Structure 1
Amino acid sequence: MSTDFQQARAALGARLRELRAEATGRDLALRLGWTQSKVSKLETGRQTATATDIKAWAEATGEPAAADELLARLQGLESHSRSWRRQLRAGHRPVQDALSAEYERSTDLRAWEGAMVVGLLQTPDYARAIFTRYAELHKSPRDIENAVRARMQRQDMLYEPGRTFHILMWEAALHAGVCPPSVLRAQLDRLIGVIGLDTVRLGIIPFGAAVAIPPANGFWLYDDRLAIVEDWHAELWLDDRDSLTVYRRVWDTLAHSAVYGSHANRLIGRARAHLDLA
């Protein structure tokens, strides 16, 4: 979680505490029907308030007019950190639609993924396995088929002129058993076909390659305006210049360790041969 996000959440908590005025945390908790610990966590920035929490707080403190201000603060905070718990309340399809909008707005896209094949290059069966795993993790609604369809529709952009996709993956992504072996075989075949596309430059960092920085969590860069970084609990949507500069530097640094073309093809073939021997 970014320092900017923590500071913004702490500032929101301080404003909530200010509105509480003379009431004790215990009194406010009783009015709201909450635990006292929830009031404390919201005020100290250890928990992020929901829009419903914000409105209830404004009413309970006798400051209903403050709700709009608080909601604006919350919206600004969430523009940077979007928790999976909140994003997936309606399932995975809305998340995919939001990402598709960002792809549509972009012409030069860069991705890094160390743990699995990037979504834009996934087969339907591989995507289905990934969505199922994450639905289980986050206990989210199972709209798996709708999410798969949305992801496959987005892949049409790979064949549209005017966009370039620079994609980096660690060799580990070729071996990760996140799906049945038969599905992974088909996925690896798909990657071999992608190498010939003129809109895609696929680089793979081999096991044992010297890397200037440790490969870490996956992210996408959309032109020079947005970075979307994935973590277990949330996505970070970053549009400030300093953050974008760091993530572009990370991408460029990793790219120096990658192989392309026939060399990448051999790594994919090696992963497929390993599956055939298993």
Structure 2
Amino acid sequence: MSTDYQRARESLGVRLRELRTEAGLTGRQLAEHCHWPHSKVSKLENGRQTAAPEDLDEWARGCGTPEEAEDLRRRLRGLETHVQSLRRRLAAGHGPIQEQSVVEYRETRVVRAYEATVIPGLFQTPDYARALLIHNAEIHQTPRDTEVAVRARMRRQETLYERGKHHRVILWEGALHALPCAPEILAAQLDRLAGLIGLDTVSLGIIPLGASMSLTPKHGFWIFDERLVRVETISTELRLDDPADIALYGRVWDRLNDAAVHGSEAHRVLARARRPFAVM
């Protein structure tokens, strides 16, 4: 059983335990109500058994919260689709993942995103993308199909010039100073960002170091058409389609956007980051 599937199953078990304890029931009492062996309650709560949809309906009724059944079923449907191991997805290299992203962006009208540590792929130059993909292949110990992946990432950027598309991206200023590549590559990357400001399909906001904020940035995330949130950690990609999750990330994005500068002020932040490379 894959680690990502098991972790998601354990997460469902945690929620089941919460409902039972909030109802003031012991595991044995709930098992008797559902006409199950006591061991089944324990296995479901500890992620040692995958629930059937009917089990979740019975659990919700047994806890006196039948309105929770649909949420439990949604969590069950998401066991394999919402939490995906990057190691497993990268087994065939970065190329297939980049190709999938091309399709995802073509099908999306409005993207809202936040990145704290890296220039997002949507805005990357080929050289900057190449450096990142090489590092990622090394750390994940996956096949190095760098050039295929770079070409796919560049095709994703075609959506930047499509009428009717909107790309609203916020960057933490620290991402402008990180050097995952040679200095001259970063200098060209900053020039690329400056050139995107003013494009009618792009809104680029930058949160300056020292900006007053109502929350602290935690990790990058992408919101696609208010239907999906994608979050990538070092080892896992989360794909969240629960309306409550999407609304939460939307509120976070709005607050980050309030702290960001745009237009000429964003140009000044980029110029400040570019200054050390003035001769390049």
Match for residue 164 of structure 1 among 159, 163, 166: 166
Give the SS at the match of 2:214.
Answer: coil
Q: Letter of the 2:220 partner, please give it.
A: G
User: How many angstroms does 1:274 deviate by?
Assistant: 2.6
Matched, 1:7 2:11: yes
Q: Letter of the 2:155 partner, please give it.
A: Q
Contact 2:123 2:157 in 1 (8 A): yes
Within 1, Cα distance between the matches of 2:218 and 2:83? 18
Q: Letter of the 2:11 partner, please give it.
A: Q
Q: Letter of the 2:149 partner, please give it.
A: A
Equivalent runs, 1:9-88 vs 2, <5 Å: 45=47, 76-88=78-90
User: How many angstroms does 1:275 deviate by?
Assistant: 3.4
Contact 1:135 1:142 in 2 (8 A): yes
Q: Which residue of 2 is the match for residue 68 of structure 1?
A: none
Equivalent runs, 1:1-278 vs 2, <5 Å: 6-8=10-12, 45=47, 76-276=78-278
Contact 2:111 2:222 in 1 (8 A): yes
User: How many angstroms does 1:196 deviate by?
Assistant: 2.2
Within 1, Cα distance between the matches of 2:133 and 2:236? 15
Identity of aligned residues (%): 50
Q: How well do the aligned residues superpose, as a CA RMSD in angstroms?
A: 2.5
User: How many angstroms does 1:6 deviate by?
Assistant: 3.5
Within 2, Cα distance between the matches of 1:109 and 1:89? 28
Within 2, Cα distance between the matches of 1:217 and 1:6? 23
Contact 1:5 1:81 in 2 (8 A): no
Q: Please, which moves more after superposition, 193-202 or 92-101?
A: 92-101
Contact 1:128 1:145 in 2 (8 A): yes
1:140-181 CA distance string (max 9 Å, x none): 110111000000011111011010000000000100011110
Within 1, Cα distance between the matches of 2:253 and 2:83? 21
1:92-116 CA distance string (max 9 Å, x none): 0111122222211111111100101
Matched residues, number: 221
Q: Letter of the 1:237 partner, please give it.
A: R
Contact 1:194 1:200 in 2 (8 A): yes
Contact 2:10 2:46 in 1 (8 A): no
Within 1, Cα distance between the matches of 2:240 and 2:113? 15
User: How many angstroms does 1:254 deviate by?
Assistant: 0.3
TM-score by length of 2: 0.74
1:204-226 CA distance string (max 9 Å, x none): 00000011111111111001100
Q: Letter of the 1:216 partner, please give it.
A: K
Q: Letter of the 2:227 partner, please give it.
A: R
The runs of 4+ residues in structure 1 deviating greater than 6 Å are none
Give the SS at the match of 1:256.
Answer: helix
